[in-house]
Amino acid sequence: MQSGISSAATQLVSEEVGVEVSHVTKGFGPEGAKLVVLNDVSFSIKRGEFVSVIGPSGCGKSTLLRLVAGLTEADHGTVTVHGEAIRTATRHKSVGLVPQSPALLPWRTVHDNVSLPIRVNSKANVDRRLRDPRQILSSFGLGHAVDKYPFQLSGGMQQRVAIARAFVFDPMVLLMDEPFSALDEMNRDQQRMGLLEFWQSNRKSVMFVTHSVPEAIILSDRIVVMAAHPGRIAEIIDVDLPRPRDENVYATDAFRDLEGYVRNSLKSVMAPGQAA
């Protein structure tokens, strides 16, 4: 499982590094009584690769995502995107963020919410393949909602708008923080498939934080399993399912084998007292 990378899965993944997290340590609190949230974390995401991060609560996966988004700084270690330090990368608008809640602006139309990344920091729009918000919305099945306001949309549609907002300015890296966790299961699966389909024809480096094992498997090329106290990487699992994938993958033996493997890996990282 560790080495079985199928050729289909890597066709569109370049060997060049997209995101490089190198020996990152991060703690909170005063010196001396510091709570270590991330301890010497290193991993990389190749260009065009989809990597999920999964682990128990308190393993620091959200902190890791905030570090890669440039929203917080590491105590030690470095984060680079396409070779640039994360500060420089965000200045060049290289990173798109899909937060846990859609976080749309309620006073803006769907169109104007999606075009927000184009409106701000417009210096970084030079030499960039900006997408037409209308076109990206219609490919997300939201063509009819372009001129609506967020409160007129369902939760699933709002989350799709948030994803469209992250794709619209063509960033090199997409960061998603449990984007479907607020949706009900039926809706979640539908949104997952929508993202999978869109991403398969618009390959970007993705770091996807999730709580769901099936979600991590169906979407990812690799799964980073994290352990808690202190947050660290326990194992990195290759997902050697062929692409393009669709919901039929759930029913395959390969999927079930992987699911069992990932669940075991997660079980082994839960401290005895924490296992649910």
Which residue type sits at 87? R
CA nearest 76: which of 29, 23, 128?
A: 23
Applying CB under 8 A, among 37, 41, 95, 176 the residue interacting with another protein is 95
Q: Hey, which residues between 156 and 215 contact another protein (CB under 8 A)?
A: 165, 169, 175
CA nearest 233: which of 102, 54, 77?
A: 54
Q: Smaller CB distance to another protein: residue 177 or 240? A: 177
Tokens 């590094």 found at: 17
Per CB under 8 A, which region of 102-110, 129-137, 185-193, 253-261 contacts another protein? 102-110
Instruction: Number of residues interacting with another protein: please give it, by CB under 8 A.
Output: 29
Q: Smaller CB distance to another protein: residue 95 or 269? A: 95
Q: State the pairing for strand pair 50-54/35-46.
A: unpaired
| Residue pair 5/51 in contact by the 8 Å Cβ criterion | no
Q: Hey, which residues between 112 and 131 contact another protein (CB under 8 A)?
A: 116-117, 119-121, 124
Tokens 């499982």 found at: 1
Applying CB under 8 A, among 56, 96, 156, 230 the residue interacting with another protein is 96
CA nearest 231: which of 78, 21, 51, 40?
A: 40
Question: Could you say which DSSP state residue 123 is in?
Answer: G
CB of 106 to another protein, least distance (A): 4
Q: Hey, which residues between 13 and 72 contact another protein (CB under 8 A)?
A: 66, 69-71
Tokens 């094992």 found at: 213
Q: Does 147 participate in binding another protein (rule CB under 8 A)? A: no
Q: Smaller CB distance to another protein: residue 117 or 230? A: 117
CB of 177 to another protein, least distance (A): 9
Q: Smaller CB distance to another protein: residue 66 or 134? A: 66
Beta bridge partners of 271: none
Per CB under 8 A, which region of 103-111, 198-206, 229-237, 239-247 contacts another protein? 103-111
**Sign of the CA dihedral running 204, 207, 209, 214:** positive
| Residue pair 9/50 in contact by the 8 Å Cβ criterion | no
3-class SS string, 36-71: EEEEEEEEEEECCCEEEEECCCCCCHHHHHHHHCCC
Applying CB under 8 A, among 6, 22, 25, 101 the residue interacting with another protein is 101
Q: Does 104 participate in binding another protein (rule CB under 8 A)? A: yes
Query: How far is 244 from 259, CA to CA, in rounded Å?
Result: 19
Torsion angles phi and psi, residue 216, rounded to 5: -60, -40
CB of 175 to another protein, least distance (A): 8
CB of 193 to another protein, least distance (A): 24
Q: Does 99 participate in binding another protein (rule CB under 8 A)? A: yes
Q: Which residues bind another protein (CB under 8 A)?
A: 66, 69-71, 90-91, 93, 95-97, 99-101, 103-107, 116-117, 119-121, 124, 149, 151, 165, 169, 175
